[in-house]
């Protein structure tokens, strides 16, 4: 099972770079999802990471194909209402492209449109979606049975949820506030990583 750390759009470029550098060795991917920042700011972030020898193979850019291609990255993620996956794959066949989904039908469509993986949520109650009921794990189970591509879970995931998600056999989990809102991002990321890697 893999661990995605998803940025929470609440930090300056310098602070965010520092947090990513701290956790990069104990996560499989860092998903940069900074909707409020301008393209130049995100490119500055990526350049800071490159200067500090962060592996670009671990970096995923959300929704900004221009940034992903200009920065020569290999991982790109689309929101559920983003660019057409099939067009992105046609013009940039070397990109690994994922998509966020919330229903079984969206997941099936993403797979048929050549998505390399889907990110399903939100699974559990979370402050990021305050007042919005979670989609739950029952639908996640149906998606897992229906798709041939990897499925990652997101939304309110705590350490206590990981065993259940392992039993469903998702490819991995994505954590946002549990890492980036922590006073000690490295410690929090390490706790998730160890739990994810634990085979007992």
Tell me phi and psi for residue 85, to 5 degrees: -60, -45
Of the candidates 11, 122, 161, 199, the residue annotated as catalytic is: 122
Beta-carbon count within 10 A of 4 CB: 25
63-to-104, 136, 160, 176 alpha-carbon distances in Å? 21, 25, 30, 17
CA dist 20 and 197 (Å) reads 20
- Rounded to whole angstroms, what are the CA distances from 103 to 29, 118, 147, 168, 184? 24, 11, 12, 16, 34
CA 99, 103, 104, 105 dihedral sign is negative
CA distance 158 to 169: 17
The dihedrals phi and psi of 151, each to the nearest 5 degrees, come to: -120, 130
Q: Are 95 and 74 in contact (CB under 8 A)?
A: yes
Q: Is 122 a catalytic residue?
A: yes
CB 30 within 8 A of CB 56: no
- Which residues are catalytically annotated? 122
């Amino acid at each position: 099972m893999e661990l995605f750390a998803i940025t929470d759009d609440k930090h300056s470029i310098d602070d965010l770079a520092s947090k990513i550098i701290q956790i990069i060795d104990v996560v499989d991917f860092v998903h940069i999802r900074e909707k409020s920042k301008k393209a130049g700011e995100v490119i500055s972030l990526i350049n800071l990471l490159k200067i500090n020898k962060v592996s670009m193979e671990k970096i995923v850019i959300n929704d900004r194909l221009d940034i992903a291609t200009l920065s020569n990255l290999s991982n790109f993620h689309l929101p559920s209402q983003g660019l057409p996956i099939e067009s992105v794959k046609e013009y940039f066949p070397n990109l690994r492209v994922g998509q966020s989904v919330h229903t079984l039908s969206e997941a099936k469509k993403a797979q048929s449109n050549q998505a390399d993986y889907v990110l399903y949520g939100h699974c559990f109650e979370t402050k990021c979606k305050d007042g919005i009921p979670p989609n739950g794990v029952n639908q996640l189970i149906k998606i897992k049975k229906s798709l041939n591509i990897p499925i990652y879970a997101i939304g309110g995931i705590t350490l206590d949820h990981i065993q259940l998600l392992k039993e469903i056999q998702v490819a991995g989990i994505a954590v946002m506030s549990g890492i980036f809102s922590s006073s000690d991002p490295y410690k929090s990321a390490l706790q998730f990583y160890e739990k994810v890697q634990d085979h007992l």
